[in-house]
Amino acid sequence: MRKYVVDAKPFAFDFDLEKTALLIVDMQRDFCARGGFGEALGNDVTPTMSIIPTVKKIVEAARAKGMFVIHTREGHRPDMSDCPPSKLRRSKAIGEDGPMGRILIRGEVGHDIVEELKPLVGEPVIDKPGKGSFYKTDLELILQNKGIESLIVCGVTTHVCVHTTIREANDRGYECLMMEDGTAAFDPADQEAAIRMINQQGGIFGWTTTSDHLFKVLK
């Protein structure tokens, strides 16, 4: 057992390395590059692009310690049979042709993870049809089989897929630490609110911290 304690909000977060996974949510070109789903919805993707170097450092630090690393991707089957009509009505860009292929469709260039954060062999990639990483996926089975109890969470967007994933994990008994500078929303106000909603009321959904605090214990 290797125990670590990270300075965090609302109080220190402790975890056992062997029972902890780094979960990297949706660092895909469709959210973190020009011409993808994020821009198609009218957003400025600068914030999501800007965290790539920080997330890369977090991933490298976790790998160096032998931490279990998991990646997720949001997207739909080419025939879009797994995309609810209600979702499509609110996000009409899904399935349309873009500069990186059909938007938010599995197998397209835009759907894949950015080059800087490519998964290594043996790191699971969870393809999810919804915002939460547990919804209609085998993520929980993988975590149970690995004996995981805690999650360190990075990715995009903080107020949507990251938040939904942490809330799902919280209800399943997992302890979650969200990286404030390893997550991003298109709107800074959403980022600030999302961070506060995680760690408020004594950590109602989990903890938040910054990468410098994590690096101190993973050095």
181: amino acid identity, one letter: D
Residues whose CB is less than 8 angstroms from the CB of residue 41 and which lie 6 or more positions away in sequence, other chains included:
91, 93
pLDDT in tens, 118-140: 999 999 999 999 999 999 999 99
CATH at residue 19? 3.40.50.850
Per-residue pLDDT, 41: 87
> 28, 119 in Cβ contact below 8 A?
no
Known catalytic membership, residue 161: yes
Pairing of strands 3-6, 13-16: antiparallel
pLDDT at 1 over 80: no
Out of 26, 30, 112, 181, the active site residue is 26
Per-residue pLDDT, 208: 98
The boundaries of the domain holding residue 137 are 3-218
> 107, 136 in Cβ contact below 8 A?
no
- Among 157, 191, 195, 192, which Cα is nearest to 176's? 195
pLDDT at 99 over 90: yes
Terminal Cα distance for the chain, rounded? 17
Per-residue pLDDT, 105: 97
Known catalytic membership, residue 26: yes
What domain count does the chain have?
1
pLDDT in tens, 24-75: 999 999 999 999 999 988 999 999 999 999 999 999 999 999 999 999 999 9
pLDDT at 92 over 90: no
Per-residue pLDDT, 82: 97
Q: What would the two tokens of residue 83 be?
A: 């995309």
What is the mean predicted confidence (pLDDT) over 192-198? 98
**Helix, strand, coil fractions of the chain, as percent rounded to 5:** 40, 25, 35
Out of 83, 128, 131, 176, the active site residue is 128
Out of 32, 83, 154, 161, the active site residue is 161
